[in-house]
Structures are given as structure tokens and as C-alpha cells.
């Protein structure tokens, strides 16, 4: 039997949140430098190339990570079974990666790729190392300590290399190479760590294709729809408008993703636990856990969204500079989509996927994708990048409604009206403080004072109104 250090949900949540915050802090240090050195147009080249890289990595991963974590969680204490399972999944992943590179070759032949070709090739080099790194093994064993330490080291290494080698707008390919090299090196180190600590992973020719392929392809279908759903806005702007507009929208998306990443850090660590709860038929316990998670997400999410909505112009100016001022309005719009996105992600990852309802997720995502694509093609030529933000809100809202409908068939959601009221009251206080701070002379002062006064005022309001979620969170951190 394989022995590993069992960790609590609280410990995993804290570690994963630390990793996420590190992954946010370092980009926030890099982006002001990169946006000013490369400029909106060259950053647009990078963002468009990165959207192509996302498609190639999507095909190479084939939905394997989600499947591997879900199924591997039941086998992790048996060294022989987990090694057999990991080898078969890893081998399928290697083959799918080769298919991904074939897709890349076809894409690069397109005349539309033009000056994006070299940047795309550099970024896509990472795909092979990502596959070899088998990061899903760490999630199976809930080894968030390693993942957190790895993230810190990679970010530090990238930061040093960027400041050393990226000096002018012509260095966009150097920027891509630095990011690729730092991540690829970490994936290789991770591979050797897995082989030494958990199980020896290698390519095998003989495997149970029928057992793995069907669920993997169903998840892959959903994943490809999600990826198109996430990246199509950027691709459409690049094809219908220009690199400068891609750069503006890319900056808004980066800041939008920052907030999403902070909030999803709490959800990700719960996926293996929900898989076990549903496999044991403990739906009532799963309902209680989910209700607490949704309460924590609401308590953290709404004030963030409110602050970004009001201070979007100041945030963009601080992070990217005056050249990116046009990113403020789409960022303001996308802050409205965060609630839809976070809740639908929670229902999918914690309820539908653990219950093997991948088909529902796939059809939901496919429908939302179709809506997103049609609206993008119709509205972007008319309204520009603001249209892409509006279509994101609509698509995310549709996804949430459908996922909520199906999730409620499996679990009961307990929402305390007093908790909701206290959060809304706290958000009103945030709005008032942010509007008052807008009278300050500089963007830095406006944001700094808004945060300085809003955070204690918000949590004081929750305490005064006896928010139960705040009490739970306090007990969690004390533990």
C-alpha cells in the first residue's frame, strides 16, 4: 500500500489560495513592466498567439486532467493500481499531444498567422513538457504543498528572466520564450518528483482503451467547448479588429481572471472530496458542504466585483498605463460576469462532474459557446471589444441557469437570508467609500485608500449583522 501525507480540506484550501495569490502577485509585478515595454500592439501579438497555444494544449490534454483526478482519487492508496492507471492515462496523453502538434502544424500553414507564427511556435513548445509533467498526479494525492512551492519558484525565476531579457517592443518573442522555458523546466522537475515519490510513470503500448477513452472524450468535448468559449473572444477580436484592440481586451481579461483565480482556489481543492462523498451516497453531507462553499464565495466575491466595477479605470491605469485606458470599460462589464462564472464553475466541478454527468456539462457548454460565437460575430464589428465583454456576461448567465437547474436535482442548497442581507449591506458601504475616494488626485491614492477603508468597513458590517459565514471562516483559519 502507498502511504502519503493526508491533508485536511482547510490546509489544502489555504495552500491552494497561497499558490493562487502568488500566481496573481507576480503577474501584477510583471504586467506594469511588460505592458509599458511591449506596448498594446505587441502585447496583442502575444495574446493572440497565446489563444492559439490554448487550443493546441487543449487538444493535447484531451480532458485527461479532470478524468485522472476523479478516477485516480479512489486508487491512490494502492501503489500497483495507481501506477497502472497513471501509465495508461499518461500514454493516452502522449498520443493526444502528438495530435495537438499536428493541429499546430496545420494552423501555422494558414496565411492569417503571418507575424504570429514564431511567437506561437515558441509558446507551443511548452505543451510537450506540460504533458510530461503530469500535474494531475499532484491533485490526486492532494499535494498542494509541492504545487505551491513550485508556483513560487517558477514565478520568481520568470520574473528575473523577464527583467533581464525583455527590454523593447521587439522582445515579444523573448517574453514568450522566458515564460515557456521557466514552466517547461518546472514540469520536468515535477516528472522526476512524481516518479520518486508516488509512482513510476512511463509510456506503455498495452492499455484498456475502452475503459478510459469514452469518459475522457466526453470530458474533452466539454473542455474544448469551454476553451473555445474562453478564447474565442480574443481570436475574434484579432480577426475582426486589430492587434491594438486585442491588447486592450487581453489586459481586461487578465484582471478578470485574477479575481476568478482567487475564488476558484477554494473550489478546486474540494473536487476529490466531493467525488468520494457522492460515490458513498452522502448527498446530504455534500449539500451542507456546498452551501458553506457558496456562502464563502458570495462573501468574498461580491465586494471584489463591486470594487473592480467602480475602480476599473484606476486599476487599469496602475497596472498597464494610459495606453491601455480603453480596457477599463470591458473590465467594468466583465466584473458583472464573475458571479455567474464562479457559481457555474462550482456546480460543474463539485456536483455534476463528480456524479459523472459530463454529458450535461458538455451540452450546456456547447449551447453557451454557440450563443457566444454568434453574438461575437454579430456585435464585435459594431461595438468593438465592449461587445465581447457583453457576450461573456450573457453566455456565463446561461451556463449558470442550466447548471443550477441540474445541480438542484442532486443537492439541496441552504441560503441564509441574514447572511445575504449582511453581504449586500457591506457592499453598499464599499460603494460609498470607493466613490468618496475617487476625489483623490492620483489613481494609486484612490485605489489604496478605497482598499484600506473598505476592507475593515465591510467585515465590520458582517460582524455587526452576525454573518454566520464570517464565523465559519474565522473558525477555519483558527483551526
Task: Provide the residue-wise pLDDT of the chain in tens; the chain has 479 residues.
Answer: 444 455 555 566 666 666 666 666 676 677 778 888 888 788 888 888 888 888 888 888 877 877 787 777 777 777 788 888 888 888 888 988 999 999 899 988 888 788 888 999 999 999 999 898 888 888 777 777 777 788 788 888 888 888 889 888 888 899 999 989 988 888 888 888 888 888 888 888 877 777 777 777 777 776 666 666 666 787 788 778 877 887 788 778 877 877 777 777 666 666 656 666 666 677 777 777 777 778 878 888 888 888 889 988 888 888 777 777 888 888 888 888 888 888 888 888 778 877 778 778 878 888 888 888 888 888 888 888 888 888 888 888 888 899 888 888 877 777 778 888 888 999 999 999 989 988 887 888 898 899 899 999 999 998 888 888 887 777 666 65
Residue 405 to residue 226: CA distance in whole angstroms:
19
Residue 179 to residue 98: CA distance in whole angstroms:
22
**Predicted local distance difference test score (pLDDT) of residue 183:** 86
**Predicted local distance difference test score (pLDDT) of residue 267:** 64
Contact in structure between 407 and 395 (CB atoms under 8 Å): no
**Predicted local distance difference test score (pLDDT) of residue 7:** 54
Q: pTM surpassing 0.75?
A: no
**Predicted local distance difference test score (pLDDT) of residue 2:** 46
Instruction: Taking the CA atoms of 73, 79, 81 and 84 in sequence, report the sign of the dihedral they define.
Output: positive
Measured CA angle at 222 (ends 219, 224), to 5 deg: 110
Residue 273 to residue 70: CA distance in whole angstroms:
10
**Predicted local distance difference test score (pLDDT) of residue 8:** 55
Amino acid at each position: 500500500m502507498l502511504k502519503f501525507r493526508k491533508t485536511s480540506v482547510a490546509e489544502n484550501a489555504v495552500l491552494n489560495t497561497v499558490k493562487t495569490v502568488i500566481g496573481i502577485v507576480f503577474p501584477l509585478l510583471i504586467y506594469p513592466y511588460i505592458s509599458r515595454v511591449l506596448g498594446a500592439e505587441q502585447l496583442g501579438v502575444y495574446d493572440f498567439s497565446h489563444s492559439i497555444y490554448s487550443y493546441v494544449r487543449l487538444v493535447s490534454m484531451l480532458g485527461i486532467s479532470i478524468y485522472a483526478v476523479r478516477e485516480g482519487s479512489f486508487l491512490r492508496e494502492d501503489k500497483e493500481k495507481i501506477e497502472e492507471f497513471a501509465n495508461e492515462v499518461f500514454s493516452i496523453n502522449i498520443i493526444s499531444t502528438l495530435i495537438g502538434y499536428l493541429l499546430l502544424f496545420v494552423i501555422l500553414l494558414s496565411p492569417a498567422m503571418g507575424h504570429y507564427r514564431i511567437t506561437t511556435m515558441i509558446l507551443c513548445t511548452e505543451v510537450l513538457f506540460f504533458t510530461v509533467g503530469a500535474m494531475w498526479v499532484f491533485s490526486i494525492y492532494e499535494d498542494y504543498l509541492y504545487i505551491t512551492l513550485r508556483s513560487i519558484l517558477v514565478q520568481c525565476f520568470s520574473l528575473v528572466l523577464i527583467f533581464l531579457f525583455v527590454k523593447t517592443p521587439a522582445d515579444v518573442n523573448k517574453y514568450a520564450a522566458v515564460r515557456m522555458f521557466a514552466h517547461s523546466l518546472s514540469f520536468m522537475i515535477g516528472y522526476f518528483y512524481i516518479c520518486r515519490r508516488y509512482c513510476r510513470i512511463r509510456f506503455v503500448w498495452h492499455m484498456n482503451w475502452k475503459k478510459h477513452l469514452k469518459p475522457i472524450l466526453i470530458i474533452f468535448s466539454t473542455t474544448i467547448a469551454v476553451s473555445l468559449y474562453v478564447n474565442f473572444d480574443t481570436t475574434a477580436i484579432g480577426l475582426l479588429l486589430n492587434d491594438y484592440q486585442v491588447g486592450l481586451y487581453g489586459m481586461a481579461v487578465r484582471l478578470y481572471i485574477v479575481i476568478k483565480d482567487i475564488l476558484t482556489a477554494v473550489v478546486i481543492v474540494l473536487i476529490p472530496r466531493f467525488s468520494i462523498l457522492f460515490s458513498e451516497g452522502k448527498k446530504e453531507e455534500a449539500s451542507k458542504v456546498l452551501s458553506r462553499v457558496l456562502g464563502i464565495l458570495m462573501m468574498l466575491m461580491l465586494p471584489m466585483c463591486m470594487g473592480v466595477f467602480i475602480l476599473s479605470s484606476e486599476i487599469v491605469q496602475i497596472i498597464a498605463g494610459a495606453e491601455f485606458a480603453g480596457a477599463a470599460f470591458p473590465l467594468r462589464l466583465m466584473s458583472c460576469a464573475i458571479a455567474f462564472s464562479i457559481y457555474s464553475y462550482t456546480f460543474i466541478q463539485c456536483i455534476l462532474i463528480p456524479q459523472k454527468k459530463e454529458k450535461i456539462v458538455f451540452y450546456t457548454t456547447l449551447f453557451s459557446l454557440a450563443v457566444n460565437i454568434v453574438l461575437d460575430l454579430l456585435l464585435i464589428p459594431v461595438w468593438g471589444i465592449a461587445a465581447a465583454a457583453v457576450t461573456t456576461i450573457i453566455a456565463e448567465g446561461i451556463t449558470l441557469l442550466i447548471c443550477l437547474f441540474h445541480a438542484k436535482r442532486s443537492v439541496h442548497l441552504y441560503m441564509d437570508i441574514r447572511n445575504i442581507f449582511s453581504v449586500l449591506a457591506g457592499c453598499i458601504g464599499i460603494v460609498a467609500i470607493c466613490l468618496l475616494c475617487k476625489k483623490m488626485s492620483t489613481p494609486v491614492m484612490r485605489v489604496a485608500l478605497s482598499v484600506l477603508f473598505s476592507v475593515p468597513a465591510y467585515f465590520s458590517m458582517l460582524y455587526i449583522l452576525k454573518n454566520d459565514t464570517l464565523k465559519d471562516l474565522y473558525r477555519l483559519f483558527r483551526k
